[in-house]
Amino acid sequence: MKNEYIAMRKFLIIALCSLLLVPAEAGKRKVHTIGDSTMSEYKPAATPKRGWGMYLQAFFNTDSVQVNNRGKSGASTRTFYESEALWPSVKQQMSAGDYLIIQFAHNDEKCKGEDVYIKNASLRAAGQDTLTDMRGTEPNTTYKAYLGKFIHEAREMGVTPILMAPICRAYFLPDGTINDEGRHVLKEHKNYVQCMREVAEAMLVPFLDMTAASEELFEHAGQAYCMQHYFNCGDKTHTGAEGGMAVASLAYNLINQSPELAEMQPWLVFPDQEQYAAYAQNVEDAGKKAALKAEGISFTQELRPITLKNMREDHNGYEPTSEHWPAGEIDEVANRYIEYTISADKKKGLIIESIIVPVFVKGGNGMNIHINYGFGKSFTGVTTIYENTALKKNKAMLIRLDQPILVPAGQTLFLRVLPWYDSNGKPQYHKYLQLGTITIAGKRLK
């Protein structure tokens, strides 16, 4: 019966997609990946983190398939879908015949399994401060609903959606197994993986259980090895290079073993050890500073913040508008930042060659920051150019970023500093980030 059920699901999936599919252009198919920081792209010069999506291309024949990794650090199903810079821009890159791998949950859990909008309604009714982190979804309702939106809109375009469960966190119990929260089970009836599986079954979508696969991998390797080799980035959620490659190989196995994804399997390759190492080195080399050579007129300019989003400033520095740092934050909060801008001339672009950011932390050692840039008010082309976790209190830092950025003619570059605080499970008060005047240097193109 099981084989008959799989065969029937495969037939129905192909039938549904064929109704919408138009012939693809000759050439490469695309495999698009959308998700959070565990999948995301990172610049090796900025951070030791590596999302597994950075390595997926190594397992596909490059003559047949192009992987378009669009994982975004800090994203939940809600924020990825609703952000103009994310889901709409991915849809612009998709074509009939492509595939879409969907993997979310880490940031959907930010409200402890509740929907943040419903939580805020109850807080307002009680006369309490509302939450500013809007990522949280309830697994049985809003999480399922947003997964359904991605699936429905992909199918409308003739793209085959694939649901992939999120990777485990390295939350080990004393007996060497991963605990419930590490497997995305927050409490009874708050199981994000099970809810994703139910969406897959209801909508006839291939389901790849990366949670179970990564759980098996991490438990077999053991906590000590995992923390030294896979999760060597300062937390138990984000992988480094070895961990990212290991998870990407799990994705290969899951795709290769899925009867519903038989069409993809001829495009798969498994690199030998030498090819594996070479691909990983190419990822590192491509992420290093690349010089932009063009003639222009040198300039230096000071930037001051133009926008505070869910942040306030007083004589101590910047803190959230709630006047405390929420518990449980392990990554940037996309809608809380200090923003700066610089615009190119309407007819001539500019190249930013260096950015200098004076930083001082007051009140504790748990402050973390990302520095991201993007273009226009929709903040497209989001790139993280700096990350530092657990900044030391009462110690002045001068961050210097020498990663050339081209700002095309008529475009505005938006620079955002996104802070969060390692709260050790409790809200934190009287912790401040101080930023001096940001100085940029570069050249205006002739």
Mean pLDDT, residues 100-114 taken together: 95
- Counted residue by residue, the chain has a size of 446
β-partners of residue 372 are: 384, 416
In 116-228, at which residue ranges do the beta strands (DSSP E only) sit?
160-164, 207-208
Distances 269 to 54, 252, 253, 256, 272 between C-alpha atoms, Å: 16, 9, 11, 10, 9
Mean pLDDT, residues 318-339 taken together: 88
Say what the pLDDT of residue 7 is.
Answer: 44
Mean pLDDT, residues 75-103 taken together: 94
Contacts of 256 (CB under 8 A, 6+ apart): 265, 268
CATH 2.60.120 holds for 296-445? yes
pLDDT band at residue 241, thresholds of 50, 70 and 90?
A: very high
Give 237-266 as a DSSP string.
S---HHHHHHHHHHHHHHHHT-GGGTTTGG
Say what the pLDDT of residue 290 is.
Answer: 64
2-286: CATH number = 3.40.50.1110
Say what the pLDDT of residue 27 is.
Answer: 65
Q: Apex CA 72: angle with CA 87 and CA 89, to 5°?
A: 25
Mean pLDDT, residues 126-131 taken together: 85
pLDDT band at residue 24, thresholds of 50, 70 and 90?
A: very low
Mean pLDDT, residues 126-137 taken together: 87
Pick from 252, 113, 126, 125: nearest CA to 191: 113
* SS3 state of residue 126: coil
Residues of each domain in the chain carrying CATH 3.40.50.1110: 2-286
How does DSSP classify residue 229?
Answer: I
Worst-scoring range by mean pLDDT, 101-110, 120-129, 266-275, 384-393?
A: 384-393
Determine the Cα–Cα distance for residues 212 and 242; give it in Å rounded to an integer.
19
Residues of each domain in the chain carrying CATH 2.60.120: 296-445
Mean pLDDT score of the chain: 89
Mean pLDDT, residues 46-56 taken together: 92
Contact between 39 and 33 under an 8 Å Cβ cutoff? The reply is yes
Say what the pLDDT of residue 403 is.
Answer: 79
The model's pLDDT over 139-167, given as tens digits with 9 standing for 90+, comes to 999 999 999 999 999 999 999 999 999 99
Pick from 37, 72, 33: nearest CA to 56: 33
